[in-house]
Structure formats: C-alpha cells, structure tokens
C-alpha cells in the first residue's frame, strides 16, 4: 500500500475535531437572567465567589508571611529571595480574584451558549437534593452523540418542589477539553437549573417544553442509578 493511501486512511479514521463554536449546533434557549435572583440562588456563582474569597485570603496570608520573613531576616539577601517569592505568589493569588470571573464569563452568556438538557430530582437529602441529568458528552455531533447520566448535589431549588421525579430543566455547563480541542469529549459536564437564572416559571415551562418527552422518560427509567452516577469521580456515567 502506498504511503499516500495509508496517510489518507489514517486521516479518515481520526476522531472528529471539536468545532470552534460547538454551541452553535446545540439545543439552546432564550433564558433572560435576573441578576439579583441569580446572585442569591445560582450555586455556580456561589462557587465562584468562594473561589475568589479563598484566593484573596490565601494571597493576604502569603503576602503577610513574605513581609514577615523579610523583616525577621534583617533584610538579608536570603530574606529578600524568600520574601520576594512569597510576594510574587501572593500577587498571583490576588490576581485570581479578577481572573476567575473573566475566565468563567457572565452568567447570561453561560445560559446563552449552554445546551438545554433535562434533569430530575433523583434524591432528596436532609439539606438538599441530588439532580440526575441526561446530557451529551460529545463536542461535535455529526457522527453521533455520547449520552451520559450526570449527577449534581445542590441546595433545595427555590420554587421547585423537593420530591423525587420532579422535572428541573437545566443547561449543561461543559469544560475541560484537551489542549487544542483535539478531544471530542467534554471531561466536565454539570447541569445548571434554569430556576437559578430567573424566578419566572413561564420561562421554566417554555424551556422544559423544548426537551423531547423521550429524554424525560429516559431519565425516569434510570433514576435509580443516581448513587452509581454520584460515585463516579466525574459524576458522569455513560448511558448504555
């Protein structure tokens, strides 16, 4: 077999690369975000705030430690080296306060570009619930999808009854693809309820109607797998 033919066959058997804007081929919805409501109820925003606070506290502590080392060394050369390294690390931590929200993007843009997926309350816990969602792990869908069950523990959702089987329309927040987008699988998928964006139940119902009944039925049939899905490191389990 010629080298050119081998090269062509190899090219044809390669996995599809992720498109530059994969969300353009996904099922999207218009979800107007109520910023005041989202700041209070959106758990993703709460996690971002906690990361910012942690980065700020760590930065201040390391900065104080660096200054203390420099002073206690009597401004010795080694003190300047150690203190300088600590101060540089502290500045990096403090910079994360501004970098994290910029890297994550606005909550409105997240809802605008994230695929609409079904989720149900699969487990009611003393201080919250566990959602079980049906998502697609594939980035590029032309050659087929990769359906997965995804679990997410969260606080009780304001306006949604905490009972097993209750429908919770969500969007799939995805991330962590390999470098240069060569991997056609998302390594992180997490459901984010529409109810965290707005208190308007008309919006919730409209988004829920975009999801085919077959997908809701698939979740209902697999609801007993919530503990198995939750036990996975990624909280994802391929749907067989």
> pLDDT tens for residues 127-136?
999 999 999 9
Q: How many whole angstroms separate alpha carbon 52 and alpha carbon 59?
A: 10
Share of the chain above pLDDT 70, in %: 78
DSSP 72-124: HTTS-HHHHHHHHHHHHHHHHHHHHHHHHHHHH--HHHHHHHSEEE-EEEEEE
* CATH number of residue 203's parent domain: 2.40.410.10
Q: Is the pLDDT of residue 64 over 60?
A: yes
Q: How many whole angstroms separate alpha carbon 166 and alpha carbon 220?
A: 10
Domain-embedded: residue 29: no
pLDDT band at 49 (very low <50, low <70, confident <90, very high): low
Q: Domain of residue 100: give its range.
A: 47-104
> pLDDT tens for residues 145-201?
899 999 999 999 999 999 999 999 999 998 765 545 557 889 889 999 999 999 999
| Single pTM value for the model | 0.72
Domain-embedded: residue 35: no
Residues 97 and 188 placed together within one structural domain of the fold: no
Domain-embedded: residue 205: yes
Share of the chain above pLDDT 90, in %: 47
Calculate mean pLDDT across residues 221-230.
96
Q: How many whole angstroms separate alpha carbon 180 and alpha carbon 185?
A: 13
Q: Is the pLDDT of residue 226 over 80?
A: yes
Domain-embedded: residue 166: yes
**Domains identified in the chain, total number:** 2
Mean pLDDT (the chain, rounded): 82
Residues 69 and 147 placed together within one structural domain of the fold: no
Residues 96 and 148 placed together within one structural domain of the fold: no
Q: Is the pLDDT of residue 32 over 50?
A: yes
Residues 131 and 194 placed together within one structural domain of the fold: yes
β-bridge mates for residue 236, sequence order: 150
| E-only strand ranges, the chain | 115-117, 119-125, 128-136, 147-154, 170-175, 188-193, 236-238
Residues 232 and 148 placed together within one structural domain of the fold: yes
Residues 155 and 233 placed together within one structural domain of the fold: yes
Tokens of 101: 């929200």
Looking at residue 13, its pLDDT comes to: 43
Domain-embedded: residue 19: no
Domain-embedded: residue 56: yes
Looking at residue 31, its pLDDT comes to: 94
Residues 234 and 118 placed together within one structural domain of the fold: yes
Residues 118 and 221 placed together within one structural domain of the fold: yes
Cα 38 to Cα 31, 35, 68, 114, 154, distances in angstroms: 12, 5, 41, 16, 15
More reliable by pLDDT, 62 or 33 = 33
């Amino acid at each position: 077999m010629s080298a050119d033919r081998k090269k062509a066959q190899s090219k044809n058997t390669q996995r599809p690369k992720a498109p530059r804007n994969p969300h353009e081929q996904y099922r999207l919805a218009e979800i107007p975000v109520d910023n005041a409501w989202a700041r209070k109820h959106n758990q993703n925003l709460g996690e971002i705030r906690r990361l910012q606070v942690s980065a700020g506290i760590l930065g201040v502590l390391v900065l104080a430690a660096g200054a203390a080392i420099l002073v206690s060394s009597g401004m010795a050369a080694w003190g300047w080296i150690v203190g300088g390294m600590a101060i540089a690390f502290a500045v990096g931590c403090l910079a994360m306060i501004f970098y994290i929200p910029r890297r994550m993007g606005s909550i409105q843009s997240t809802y605008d570009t994230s695929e609409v997926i079904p989720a149900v309350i699969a487990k009611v816990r003393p201080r919250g619930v566990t959602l079980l969602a049906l998502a697609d792990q594939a980035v590029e869908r032309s050659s087929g999808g990769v359906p997965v069950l995804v679990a997410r523990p969260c606080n009780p959702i304001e306006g949604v009854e905490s009972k097993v089987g209750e429908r919770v329309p969500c969007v799939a927040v995805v991330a962590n693809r390999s470098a240069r987008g060569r991997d056609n699988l998302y390594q992180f998928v997490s459901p984010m309820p529409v109810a965290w964006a707005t208190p308007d139940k008309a919006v919730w119902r409209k988004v829920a109607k975009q999801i085919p009944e077959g997908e809701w039925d698939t979740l209902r049939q697999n609801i007993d797998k919530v503990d198995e899905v939750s036990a996975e490191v990624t909280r994802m389990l391929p749907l067989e």
